[in-house]
Structure 1
Amino acid sequence: MILSNTLVHVPFRRIAVGTVMLPLLSFIFCVVWSLIHNFQSVTATHCKVWNFLPSISSAIGSYTPQTYVWRMGIALHSAPRLLVSFMYRRYYHNLLSDSPQHQYLGTVAFLLNFIENVCLLGLSNISSSENYPAHEKLFCTFVISSSLYMILSIKIPNFVARRQLTPMERKSLRTKKTLAATSIVAVIAAAFFFLRHNWHCEPGMYSMFALSEYVVVLSNMGFHMTAYWDFNDQELVLGSIMQSTHKDEDKTPLVDSSSTPWLDV
């Protein structure tokens, strides 16, 4: 069968860039707008000490229009990000050997990524000022699932694979390793600064926690942006399916054996 009457034909590279730019631009807007218009309130803490940066929760969830911009950006990027999760599930299953324990890793990676996406949606729509316990649990689950997904994603290619990685995939893997390490270090730093702030109420300490949060979020965005290289030759195609005759099939191959169609709708 072949596609006819193609309605949409979008290179995946554009989807990858658009998916990352939505939360990135929303994040930058929320932080900058909060610093300009709500500096005193977003940097205030129970200790009443000086700080120079707002936490992400304060920047995105306490004031408008920041709340609206962030929630809209996250909502719009959620569908393509979920689509990429399914693409990676098939990608890992095709990359790993047929051994059940190796195939199981692809499923675990997908579930971790799915949980990460759901928690991101949840903590974006339930602000810390509305329901702090729920927001806190969602944020912690997001950080844990995200970190585990990063670690598993960079470990999967080390297991028995059906083929060698392409140059683009190797570049993606190197970038993943750097960003995963950066994110994990930033998570540890954020925990340290948060506890130190609560224990000693030192000036600027909460801002250091906020800065560590920024690094975690930006590393996460960059990590998911590596899909740009993993699926650089793929395209999103929407159209109607037309059955071809056996004679036509003999003349024209429908699938190029040199590439794997991870996404062909």
Structure 2
Amino acid sequence: MASEARYKLLYDEYDTTTFVNITFDKIAWVTVGLPFVAFIFCILYSIMYNFESATFSHCHVYNVLPSISSAIGNFSPQREIWQFAVALHALPRFCVAAAYLQYHKEVLYPWALSMSVVACLLNVIENFALIILSFWTSSNNYPIHKASFVTFIIASELYMLLAWLLNKRCRKHQRNIAESTSLKWKKRLVLFNISCIITAMYFFIRHNMWCEDYVYSIFAFFEYMVVLSNMAFHMMAKLDFKQRNLVISKSGVSLQFDR
């Protein structure tokens, strides 16, 4: 019996072995900081060193800003830097999606848990779509790039809306100050993001119909705003998980309060 007890104790210790224990402050900076820095680099480098090619459009009108697809996918070293950043941030993003699923189980009413699973799936789909559109660029496989880009936009919009609504309408626990601040910013970012998508679509259609100078650049600017507001929305995990750690152990991904 004594040997069985010792064996069980050793097994339990092994079973709860922690592989990763990191604060969400660091996770948030990694998951958002990597693509943010790469994104800004790709835009600026394309303007400085690939201006003519990056701002070229089929109507041969003058533009000053490259589209995102052109900046991140058509030139080197921008393409490689963007792909490296997206690949490096992907695993932490999946861990954050799992952490939000646990978080929603803690704070939402039981009847809303199925919607939290949908939100998690949308978050995962968004991440996969980002990976695909980054590695299958518009220059080497336009159909796959286009399909993954549309999937990314739809999944990200639905995820942001659902994540905001779940925390606005379906909570069983009162929000703390950080969570309240996060919710306010999520609402602003969702509305801003949707407004930018609508505006970008308008200028994209207008460019294709009338081929006016600078119109494609206006489209590109609002395209940037869509991506940056999406990044800012994901940065709200820093507030939602304030004073919590992301723990990866033999039993899976979990949230723990920082001690």
Q: So what's the TM-score if we normalise by structure 2?
A: 0.88
Could you report, residue by residue, the CA deviation over 1:77-133 in whole angstroms, capped at 9, with x for unpaired residues?
00001100011111112221122xx11110110111111011000000011011112
Q: Does residue 39 of structure 1 match 2:51?
A: yes
5+ residue gaps, structure 2: 1-11
Q: What is the CA-CA distance between 1:9 and the residue it aligns to?
A: 4.1
Could you report, residue by residue, the CA deviation over 1:182-221 in whole angstroms, capped at 9, with x for unpaired residues?
1101110111010000000000011111001100000010
Q: Does residue 199 of structure 1 match 2:181?
A: no
Paired residue for 1:77?
A: 89
Calculate the aligned-residue CA RMSD, in Å.
Answer: 2.0
Question: 1:5 and 1:47, CA in 2 relative to 1: closer, same or farther beyond 3 A?
Answer: closer
Q: Aligned match of 2:123 in 113, 118, 122?
A: 113
> How many angstroms apart in 2 are the aligned matches of 1:185 and 1:263?
36
1:23-102 correspondence to structure 2 within 5 Å = 23-99=35-111, 102=112
Paired residue for 2:244?
A: 234
Q: Aligned match of 1:262 in 218, 234, 255?
A: 255
Task: Tell me the number of residue pairs that the alignment of Structure 1 and Structure 2 aligns.
Answer: 243
Higher helix proportion? 2
Paired letter, 2:158 = L
> How many angstroms apart in 1 are the aligned matches of 2:248 and 2:168?
35
Question: 1:210 and 1:262, CA in 2 relative to 1: closer, same or farther beyond 3 A?
Answer: same
> How many angstroms apart in 2 are the aligned matches of 1:103 and 1:85?
14
> How many angstroms apart in 2 are the aligned matches of 1:179 and 1:95?
22
* 3-state DSSP of counterpart to 2:138: coil
Q: Does residue 156 of structure 1 match 2:149?
A: no
> How many angstroms apart in 1 are the aligned matches of 2:195 and 2:127?
21
The sequence identity of aligned pairs, in percent, is 44
Question: 1:7 and 1:130, CA in 2 relative to 1: closer, same or farther beyond 3 A?
Answer: closer
Instruction: Detail structure 1 runs of 4+ shifted over 3 Å in the superposition.
Output: 1-9, 236-241
When structure 1 is superposed on structure 2, of 58-67 and 159-168 the one drifting more is 159-168
Paired letter, 1:67 = R
Paired residue for 2:147?
A: 137
Paired residue for 2:3?
A: none
Q: Does residue 146 of structure 1 match 2:139?
A: no
Paired letter, 1:23 = P
Question: 1:74 and 1:7, CA in 2 relative to 1: closer, same or farther beyond 3 A?
Answer: closer
> How many angstroms apart in 2 are the aligned matches of 1:54 and 1:33?
11
Q: What is the CA-CA distance between 1:6 and the residue it aligns to?
A: 6.8
Could you report, residue by residue, the CA deviation over 1:14-43 in whole angstroms, capped at 9, with x for unpaired residues?
111122110000001101110110000000
Could you report, residue by residue, the CA deviation over 1:52-99 in whole angstroms, capped at 9, with x for unpaired residues?
000000001001000000000000000001100011111112221122
Paired letter, 1:175 = W
1:161-200 correspondence to structure 2 within 5 Å = 161-200=171-210
> How many angstroms apart in 1 are the aligned matches of 2:170 and 2:85?
38
Question: 1:104 and 1:233, CA in 2 relative to 1: closer, same or farther beyond 3 A?
Answer: same
Paired letter, 1:70 = W
> How many angstroms apart in 1 are the aligned matches of 2:115 and 2:100?
12
When structure 1 is superposed on structure 2, of 57-66 and 9-18 the one drifting more is 9-18
> How many angstroms apart in 2 are the aligned matches of 1:62 and 1:238?
37
Paired letter, 1:127 = T
Paired residue for 1:258?
A: none
